[in-house]
Amino acid sequence: MGEGMGTSRREFMKWVSAGGITLSLSRLAAAEQVAFPVRETLPGRGKLNPAIGGAGRVDGVAKVTGSKLYASDFRANDLPGWPEKTSHAILVRAPDATHVYLGMDLARLSGALKPTVIVTAADLARINTRVPAYYEGDLFCPIGKTPLYMGQPVALLIFETFDVYDRARIALRDGTFVQFGEETGPIVMPNYAAYRFTRVAGATPDAPDVYSPVLAGWVTPGRTQASALPVWSSTAHKNEAGYEKAAVYGDQIRAEIAASESSALVLDRTFDTQSVDPMFMEPECGLGWYSAKDKALELVLGVQSPYEAAESIAFLLGETKASFKPSAINAQFAYVGGGFGGRDHTPFIFYVTLAAIFFPDRPVRLAHDRYQQFQAGIKRHAIKMRSRMSVDRASGKITAFAADHVLDGGGLANFSANVATCAATAAIGIYDVPKVDVTTVAEHTRGVTAGSMRGYGSLQTMTALEVLIDEAALALKLDPIDFRRRNALKQDGRTMTGNPYIVSVRSLEVLDKLEQHPIWQRRAAEKARAASGVLVGTGVACVTKDYGTGGDSSNGRVELGPDGRIAIFCDHVEMGNGIGTALASRVALHLGGIADEVAVSQVGVFDALELVTSGDCYTMDQKTQDKAEKDPRWVPSISSATSASIGAHVGTHAAAEAARVIFRFGLWPAALALWNIGPRDPRAKDFAKVQWKDGQLTMAGLPSLPLAKLAATAHARNLVTGAVAHGFSRWAWARARFPINGEQYRAEIDGLALRRGAGKFTRINRSSVLFPPTDNNRMGTAYTAACGATVRVEIEKATGALRIAKAYTAFECGQALVPEVVIGQAQGGFAMGVGYALLETLPPFEGGPGNGQWNLGQYLVARGSDLSLRDVEIELMPPLTPDELPKGMAEVVMIPIVPALLNAIHDAIGHRFAALPVTPAMLKGALA
């Protein structure tokens, strides 16, 4: 392959898991890439920002030439040191979860089609595998039990050759060979999570809150109740002081809303959202090879959470019988063909592992087809919501809001608890509401597992809210944008959990933009001039979305060669979000040149930091953190999963900080030496005054210095030429001081190792570390990005066919590292939002995807013709200040178009839909 993409296979992270298995991870290099010159491979080289001048993304050439990049592209013979031949496995799943599983009738696989190996629940019991707590539930449904959920695996069938596998999968396609007996009804399991978020603001905006989650902690009703759904009343929890207090305030808020009906506008509405599939383009896939002789397990995977995947696999095998227990696991992570959250903590990795372990010495490939991906891939939660809102008629101010959410979590817990809390804390959107009470419960059901997916709960609750807001504005005869403006949260206002945001709050600016846009301005005129047989309507919506998880880690390593070549290594995964390109841009701000090598999905190159961790960064108490941080190598979390929304903010942070250190202690002293500026010269401290221009370091009155010359000098003088950094954010970055060259260097990182000249990396002991307080875990979020949309629709009376006539979206994301990628994500979010509002839906349970019969024929996603591509305008707002940090925005951009479309439909036909999606048939029905 071209060296430009950076094979970076040279180092691996190694550590030993609790089960005594040595783990190592690395990024899977492209096995085969057309040999293009390096400068083609990294088209942005020499420019400060690879996006400037349309030079493209760092993985551009590989992706347009069909290079092997994705997990599904690799076979054993592509991988150095692996045996030549690849065997193939079929993961058989149960299409039923209300009857007892009796086993498989494999009579149709007779003779040559017989599987070489069959793996079932009994085999896992025999070798003693363990399931990590996060994935709790049988990996295979045992014979005699009712499956826990539709699509639960029952067996792996392994075939030695592709040909036999291919014939067998054709023979098994109808799924009827999985047999069931007596009807039992679905398995009943406890809810995954239940929380209540209640806030009562003080009498004035400046006064402290009377009660809030930040003040009192998060509350959850006890698990002592026998009812299917929690009983939220305060009287039901007399013995739980924390809960009872929240419930008393919450009940009061609800009583006040009910009592205000005579004087205020009170709306009490339900809204239901549907289950959808992320429908990333590459079905999940993996390759494994267990060498029994060496007791070494090799894996090729494509997930958003490499570190977690490796740890979970080690746990799975940690106590297996000797002949099935590897002493070492090496996992290689490939590019992913889309993720949208659906590849974060996916259980698919276990089945790849088991296929390899049960067919030792033969590489085995396990790949979902699209039916299986629909049957088992992680879904978006369907949510049933009931919302009540009271608005003072005189002021047009929302005085109180209460809501109850029930989420269908499907068969496994996955991220249900997190999605439930995220959905609940997003339920008041951009608004400042003094009294809020929201309950949420995520249920186990027999449906396909729901988990992390773009929009993550907020999409559902903010859609319901923005439709409710529209109805309230109309009922009050207020302009919908003016009504939103009156109620919008200002910069210092408090969120539902009782904390202010720590980043810019720009929803008012977004509202201004929406108001001024011709789509909004011309709404009456366009309605009036609608063609015969066509109804025209315009809608608007504005939302704000959290990003980050409140426990985000960033690992980055930057190396500068004596010739000025820059190499960057990062632990986050490239999902198409352009993180490689963003890294190159952010590092270039400090080092003046675009990297020659950018390696993502790295877990192997940060060893010099010698980091250790303990506890759970989300739940630990302050005392535990205070004690743990005394070890200068301890951090609350080493590596976290990648989501596109945190890519810019978190993924690039550590590499940017590493580059900053190299500049400060490498290139800057080199520049001083070249300029003959001595240490006592006042200019010796002017490092903030220099600028990079066309690859040259410039300072007024001094000759410009090219990067290569500075790098050579830094190497010759044994200055800092490489840095590895770690950052941790719990709604604020951890900070620490590091002694470098007799100076206490302060930065927003908690781990640092430096290389001088061509030497080795050495860890620098930090001092005065300041981790964000553990109480920050009580915040719902402190990072947010705003986005608004206005849309005009045309609906044919006769057919209900809807056309998007014009649409406009405005959003902000702080400093856009690669504006083209940001715009691309916004456009993709718009498309996904349109699909969610108008097209996509999966029925729960028996008729749904768990039956294994779903594909793109029934499941409709937005195509180009659904989007009126030329009539969609997307505006990326400039950062508030030139130095505003990047914000995560990949999630927010799909949200406002959904309620904006519903509001436009209402404007057009006078009917307000309270469930998604709104299809032409439903529109036709409403028009009849």
Partner 1 sequence: MTTLGITINGQVHAPTEVRDDLSMNDFLREYLGMTGTKFGCGAAQCLSCVVIVDEPDGTCHTNPTCVTSAASFHGKTIRTVEGHAKNGELSPLQKAFIRHFAFQCGYCTAGFLNEGQVLLEQLARTPVPRAGLEERIAEALDGHLCRCTGYFKYHEAVLDVILSDAKRYLIQEPRG
Q: Is residue 521 near partner 1 by the rule CB under 8 A?
A: no
Q: Is residue 759 near partner 1 by the rule CB under 8 A?
A: no
Region near partner 1 per CB under 8 A, out of 242-250, 495-503, 725-733, 829-837: 829-837
Nearest CA among 417, 456, 412 for reference residue 150:
412
Return the number of the residue (139 or 164) whose C-beta is nearest partner 1: 164
Please list every residue from 61 through 120 that binds partner 1, using CB under 8 A. Answer: 61-70, 72-75, 77-78
| Least distance from partner 1 to the Cβ atom of residue 51, Å | 7
| Least distance from partner 1 to the Cβ atom of residue 60, Å | 4
Q: What are phi and psi of 252, to 5 degrees?
A: -60, -45
Binding mask 136-175 for partner 1 (x = CB under 8 A): --------------------------xx--xx--x-----
Could you tell me which residues are beta bridge partners of residue 598? 568
Q: State both tokens at 586.
A: 């952010």
Please list every residue from 330 through 349 that binds partner 1, using CB under 8 A. Answer: 335-340
The CA-based angle 62-67-72, given to 5 degrees, is 125
Alpha carbons 429 and 912: distance in angstroms, whole number: 20
Alpha carbons 272 and 447: distance in angstroms, whole number: 16
Which residue in this structure is represented by tokens 């609750």?
A: 461
Alpha carbons 327 and 481: distance in angstroms, whole number: 62
Please list every residue from 348 through 387 that binds partner 1, using CB under 8 A. Answer: 369-371
Cβ partners under 8 Å of residue 169, min gap 6:
90, 369
Return the number of the residue (368 or 435) whose C-beta is nearest partner 1: 368
Q: State both tokens at 42.
A: 């990294």
Q: Is residue 828 near partner 1 by the rule CB under 8 A?
A: yes
Please list every residue from 567 through 606 that binds partner 1, using CB under 8 A. Answer: 575-578
Residues in the interface with partner 1 (CB under 8 A) total: 76
Region near partner 1 per CB under 8 A, out of 272-280, 311-319, 745-753, 764-772: 272-280
**Interface pick for partner 1 out of 480, 593, 829, 852 (rule CB under 8 A):** 829
829-865 residues labelled b (16+ CB within 10 A) or e (exposed): bbbbbbbbbbbbbbbbbeebbbbbbbeeeebebbeee
Count Cβ atoms below 10 Å from residue 912 Cβ, excluding itself.
Answer: 18
Q: What is the DSSP letter of 312?
A: H
**Interface pick for partner 1 out of 869, 878, 910, 921 (rule CB under 8 A):** 869
Read out DSSP for 845-914?
GGGSGGGS---TTTS----GGGTTGGGEEEEEEPPSSTTPPP---TTGGGSTHHHHHHHHHHHHHS----
Amino acid found at 722:
G
Return the number of the residue (240 or 866) whose C-beta is nearest partner 1: 866
**Interface pick for partner 1 out of 4, 27, 59, 400 (rule CB under 8 A):** 59
Return the number of the residue (166 or 563) whose C-beta is nearest partner 1: 166
**Interface pick for partner 1 out of 279, 356, 391, 511 (rule CB under 8 A):** 279
Q: Is residue 825 near partner 1 by the rule CB under 8 A?
A: yes
Return the number of the residue (335 or 663) whose C-beta is nearest partner 1: 335
What is the pairing mode between strands 872-877 and 743-747? unpaired
Alpha carbons 482 and 478: distance in angstroms, whole number: 7
Region near partner 1 per CB under 8 A, out of 196-204, 711-719, 786-794, 825-833: 825-833
Nearest CA among 381, 370, 435, 434 for reference residue 411:
381
Q: Is residue 223 near partner 1 by the rule CB under 8 A?
A: no
Binding mask 283-322 for partner 1 (x = CB under 8 A): x---------------------------------------
Alpha carbons 697 and 693: distance in angstroms, whole number: 6
**Interface pick for partner 1 out of 591, 648, 813, 831 (rule CB under 8 A):** 831
Alpha carbons 872 and 869: distance in angstroms, whole number: 6
**Interface pick for partner 1 out of 6, 56, 551, 556 (rule CB under 8 A):** 56
Distance between start and end Cα atoms, the chain? 62
Please list every residue from 13 through 42 that binds partner 1, using CB under 8 A. Answer: 34-37, 40
| Least distance from partner 1 to the Cβ atom of residue 280, Å | 6
Return the number of the residue (87 or 449) whose C-beta is nearest partner 1: 87
Alpha carbons 438 and 195: distance in angstroms, whole number: 8
Q: Is residue 281 near partner 1 by the rule CB under 8 A?
A: yes
Amino acid found at 523:
R
Q: Is residue 861 near partner 1 by the rule CB under 8 A?
A: yes
User: In the sheet that 751-756 helps form, which strands lie side by side, from edge to edge?
Assistant: 597-599, 566-570, 552-560, 720-729, 751-756, 762-764
Return the number of the residue (300 or 635) whose C-beta is nearest partner 1: 300
| Least distance from partner 1 to the Cβ atom of residue 281, Å | 4
| Least distance from partner 1 to the Cβ atom of residue 898, Å | 14
Return the number of the residue (398 or 822) whose C-beta is nearest partner 1: 822
Q: State both tokens at 604.
A: 């192997």
Q: Is residue 882 near partner 1 by the rule CB under 8 A?
A: no
Please list every residue from 628 through 667 that binds partner 1, using CB under 8 A. Answer: none
**Interface pick for partner 1 out of 832, 842, 902, 905 (rule CB under 8 A):** 832
Cβ partners under 8 Å of residue 901, min gap 6:
539, 791, 793, 804, 833, 834, 837, 838, 918
Alpha carbons 458 and 473: distance in angstroms, whole number: 21
| Least distance from partner 1 to the Cβ atom of residue 575, Å | 6
Q: Is residue 472 near partner 1 by the rule CB under 8 A?
A: no
Return the number of the residue (697 or 810) whose C-beta is nearest partner 1: 810
